[in-house]
Amino acid sequence: MIDYKQSIADSISIVTNVESNVLKQYIEKPPEQKLGDYAFPCFKLAKELKKSPQIIANEIKDKIILEKAKIEKAEIVGGYINFYINKNSLISTVLTEISEKKENYGKQNIGGGKTIVIDYSAPNIAKPFHVGHLRSTVIGGALYKIYKYLGYHTVGINHLGDYGTQFGKLIEGYKRWSNEYNIEKNPIEELTKIYIRINELCKEDESILEECRNNFKKLEEGDEYCTRLWNEFRTVSLKEFQKVYELLGSQFDSYNGEAFYSDKMGEVIERLENSGKLVESEGAKVVNLDEYEIPPCLIIKSNGSTTYATRDLAAILYRARTYDYEKALYVTSYEQILHFKQVFEVAKLLGINEKYTKGLIHVPFGMVHLKSGKISTREGNIIKLEDLLKEAITRARTIIEEKNPNLENKEEVAKKVGVGAVIFNDLSNSRIKDEIFDWDQILNFNGETGPYIQYMYVRTKSILEKAEKLPDIKEIEFSKLLDDEAIQVINTLYNFEETLRQVVEKNEPSILARYLIEVSQNYSSFYNEHHIIGELKEVENARLYLTYACNQVLKTGANLLGIAMPEKM
């Protein structure tokens, strides 16, 4: 693939003596197509060259030697130099590469086999897998696939919430009321009722809360009764979670949750004590972080039990040794920003290679709220994710029955459309933004949605099937695709590689989701303006191949987001 930005940067570097890799970072896309394909802001060099942006622009314009096979011309607009790509070169570059790589178009090896550990989903056992867990699951899943596509060795870890005081509470509630609930028939629902009930009791009676804390302490010490109950809770929970993961197409390489590290925390405590930074505070043990202007990190509670932080530190030690990671991503809500700031600072005291502590990255996302307020298992204010996905499938099936009742494989298509709508709705928004969960919005099948992208993919598929035979790339006359609509599509397809790189640079899957909307909209404009089949053979071949190119990119991009494409709709 020709790197046009690099070609421009190299040409400017010869004139200015500024390194081309620095110049390349300054090159941007103009706000309108008529202003060119790339723009160089000369004010970026004003301080270094001690000249005004306008003078710099004129000097570069006068002296620059362009590779005409790549860049047709350069024009000055204010303090910018706008560059125009050779359109035949662009068309040839994009379509030829797609013909060679097909579904692997956009695939790169920038990772070089380095390992990326991604910690995501992480529901709490014995609690419903609710809509609040959706964001971590789909954001982490998309990053997992995209990093792998770019040549990284990715390790997906489902760090289950299977330890902590909450299980002391659940054990206490189970001891008191298990005979009142049909746990065998509806394990998660009934355990949730017990959990809500014991929480209410803890609010009323501090001694009950202390009993719950003692139960967790017994669990940590290996008490037979508490351990047996914990194992039962974990087993039934994983069975329920798997139903949701199958619907979402989610996969993990490890289900090592918090409990996995219960026998590994001693080393963390020992290392922190050896560092001299673990100090007593009101009967507990903490690491003071005053120098970072954040509260102390609690390592051991006053009753001797450990904390989330202790287990996360043990996980960092284990993952560094086991995976030799380049980066370790933690995909959780922004409510945990402080927690990870504390943990990442304390991790520097563990005596491990600085590479591992530098590679710790929190990937925060906004919360999902109901119209009635925040989701909370304690208050019983939840929407189960499995129910949401099934409802999405049901609504998709209803639309299919209305619009295309004779469609084959209606159930399979309804599943892909319904689940795809939910995933895309989540990923199309910047991850840091809060979302208000709204049935009507999340299942809107019009506009900039998952079903719209699927529909455009199916349209390209239908056109290709109608043509019966895809022309060979050697038969394509690239000059037949010089109209504005086709060039707009080609430009967008060219940006696929850069789009994927931006996703991993920012850990932001919404960049790819918005890109797929752009591909769909640009192809729709092209389709509406131009006949594809029935034109002169040279024109038909060229437009068919452009259709095929869009088909490949839409499917690849959607799959990287975790969205399956139906073949018909």
Is 10 a domain residue?
A: yes
* Number of residues in the chain: 569
Give yes or no for a contact between 217 and 306, defined as CB atoms under 8 angstroms apart: no
Is 262 a domain residue?
A: no
Give the structural domain span for 35.
4-85
φ and ψ of 353, to 5 deg? -55, 135
Q: Tell me, what amino acid is at 206?
A: E
- Predicted confidence at residue 532, as pLDDT, reads 94
Is 121 a domain residue?
A: no
Is 77 a domain residue?
A: yes
Is 70 a domain residue?
A: yes
- Predicted confidence at residue 442, as pLDDT, reads 66
Q: How many CB atoms lie within 10 A of CB 461?
A: 20
- Predicted confidence at residue 476, as pLDDT, reads 96
User: Into how many domains does the chain fold?
Assistant: 1
Q: Is the dihedral of CA 243, 249, 253, 257 positive or negative?
A: negative
Is 51 a domain residue?
A: yes
CA distance 5 to 37: 10
Sheet of strand 284-287: strand arrangement: 278-281, 284-287, 297-300
Please classify residue 498 by burial: count the beta carbons closer than 10 Å to its beta carbon, then call 0-12 exposed, 13-18 middle and 19+ buried: middle
- What tokens were used for 264? 């590994």
Q: What is the pLDDT along the chain (569 residues), one digit of tens a residue?
A: 899 999 999 999 999 999 999 999 999 999 888 899 999 999 999 999 999 999 999 999 999 999 989 999 999 998 999 999 999 999 999 999 999 999 999 999 999 999 999 999 999 988 888 888 899 999 999 999 999 999 999 999 999 999 888 899 999 999 999 999 988 888 888 998 999 999 999 999 999 999 999 998 899 888 999 999 999 999 999 998 999 999 999 999 999 999 999 899 999 999 999 999 999 999 999 999 999 999 999 999 998 888 999 999 999 999 999 999 999 999 999 999 999 999 999 999 999 999 999 999 999 999 877 666 555 545 555 678 888 899 899 999 998 999 899 999 999 999 999 999 999 999 998 999 987 767 667 666 678 899 999 999 999 999 999 998 999 999 999 999 999 999 999 999 999 999 999 999 999 999 999 999 999 999 999 999 999 998 899 999 999 999 999 999 999 999 999 999 999 98
- Predicted confidence at residue 516, as pLDDT, reads 98
- Predicted confidence at residue 166, as pLDDT, reads 87
- Predicted confidence at residue 435, as pLDDT, reads 78
Is 46 a domain residue?
A: yes
CA 49 and chain centroid, separation: 41
CA distance 138 to 121: 8
The structure's pTM equals 0.92
Is 23 a domain residue?
A: yes
Number of Cα atoms under 13 Å in the Cβ half of residue 203? 8
- What tokens were used for 93? 């570059």
**Residue linked to tokens 């239908």:** 462
The CATH number of the domain holding residue 54 is: 3.30.1360.70
CA distance 258 to 131: 22
**Residue linked to tokens 């380049």:** 326
- Predicted confidence at residue 183, as pLDDT, reads 86
Give yes or no for a contact between 142 and 562, defined as CB atoms under 8 angstroms apart: yes
Number of Cα atoms under 13 Å in the Cβ half of residue 422? 31
Query: Which of 170, 225, 216, 160 is CA-nearest to residue 192?
Result: 170
**Cα distances (angstroms) measured from residue 433 to each of 333, 334, 367, 385, 531:** 10, 10, 7, 20, 41
Query: Which of 505, 502, 512 is CA-nearest to residue 426?
Result: 512
